[in-house]
Amino acid sequence: MKRVIKTLAHRLGFWRLAYRLRRKPILAAFTFHRVTDHATAPEYYLGYDRGLDVREFRGQLDAIGEYFTVISLDKFRDIVLGHESPREHSALLTFDDADSEFIVHVLPALQKRNWPAVVFTPVDFVDSDKFFWHVCVGHLLRVMTEEDLGRVRSLTGLPKSVGAAIADGSRLSAQRRPEVARLLVRALNGLDDNEILDVVERIRQCCPGVSLPTIHTMNWREHRQVIQSGISVQSHTMHH
C-alpha cells in the first residue's frame, strides 16, 4: 500500500510540492561513474564497462534540475563545514574514475546547463597502460581465443573460488562469456588487492595477442580541457 501511495504521489506531482514547501534545504551529492552511448557502444559484459546510457543520464540531469540548484565543490565544502548555509535545495555532481568518455558525453551536457561538477581521478592511471582490474577481466573474456582459454585453464595455484569460476568457463560459448566474466569478477572481489592484481596479470599473460582495453581514464590534456571548462578535478587516490 505504501508503495502504491508513493507512486501516485510521484505521478501526481506531490513530490514537487513537498520539496518546495520543505523549510530546511536539502544538501545532496549525486555520484556518477561511466556514461556511454548504448546505441554505439560494444556489448560489454560488465555493468561498469557498459556504463549509464547518455540519454538516461540527460534525463537524470533534467530531474535533478527540477528539484536542486547544482553547486560547485567549493560551495558544497563551505556548507558542510558550516561556513555557509544553503538557502535552497543544493546538489553536488561527482564523477568517479575520470573516464575518457566524460569529454564526449558528460562535459557537453554540463556545459549546456552551465553546471559545475567534480571529477575524481585515480592519478596513477592517467597517461599509462594501467587499467582497473575488472575492466581487464571483462575485456579479456570478450576477446580471448580458445587457445588463450586453454592456457588460462592450465594455470595452477589459483585461489579456489577463482579456479572454480575459470573451470566454469570450460564451455566458453559466446552466450556464456558474460556470465563467466561476472563469476570471475565476483570471485576476485573476495581476495585482497595484491592477490587480485596477481591473478589478473597471470590471466592476461595467457592472452599474448590481446590488445589493451578501450576503457581508460582521460589523459592530462583532456584533464586540462575539463578544468578550463570550470569542472573541478580532485584525486581519487593514486590507484583507486
- pLDDT, position 153: 87
Q: Which residues contact 31 (CB under 8 A, 6 or more apart)?
A: 94, 95, 96
Dmax of the chain from CA atoms?
65
Tens of pLDDT along 24-55? Answer: 899 999 999 999 999 988 889 999 999 999 99
Higher pLDDT, 125 or 4: 125
d(Cα 191, Cα 201) in Å, to the nearest integer? Answer: 14
* Distances, alpha carbon 42 to alpha carbons 65, 100, 143, 226, in Å: 31, 15, 12, 25
Q: Stretch 129-151: mean pLDDT, rounded?
A: 91
Q: Stretch 190-214: mean pLDDT, rounded?
A: 93
d(Cα 50, Cα 4) in Å, to the nearest integer? Answer: 32
pTM, two decimal places: 0.85
Helix pair angle (2-11, 14-21), 10° resolution = 80
Per-residue confidence at 20, pLDDT binned at 50, 70, 90? low
Among 74, 71, 73, 72, CA closest to 88? 71
- Does 233 have pLDDT greater than 60? yes
Per-residue confidence at 8, pLDDT binned at 50, 70, 90? low
- Beta-bridge partners for 52: 35
- Could you report how far apart the first and last alpha carbons of the chain are, in Å? 42
pLDDT > 90 in the chain, percent: 69
Query: What rounded mean pLDDT belongs to the chain?
Result: 89
Tens of pLDDT along 159-178? Answer: 999 988 888 655 667 678 88
- Does 124 have pLDDT greater than 80? yes
- pLDDT, position 238: 84
- Beta-bridge partners for 93: 30
Tens of pLDDT along 98-114? Answer: 999 999 999 999 999 99
Q: Are 135 and 49 in contact (CB under 8 A)?
A: yes
Per-residue confidence at 22, pLDDT binned at 50, 70, 90? low
d(Cα 38, Cα 55) in Å, to the nearest integer? Answer: 9
Per-residue confidence at 18, pLDDT binned at 50, 70, 90? low
Q: Stretch 53-81: mean pLDDT, rounded?
A: 96
- pLDDT, position 23: 66
- pLDDT, position 107: 98
Name the burial class of residue 18, with classes exposed (0-12), middle (13-18) and buried (19+) by CB atoms within 10 angstroms of its CB: exposed
- pLDDT, position 171: 62
Q: Are 76 and 27 in contact (CB under 8 A)?
A: yes
Q: How many CB atoms lie within 10 A of CB 108?
A: 13
- For residues 63, 65, 67, 68, the Cα torsion angle rounded to the nearest 10 degrees is 140
Amino acid in position 163: G
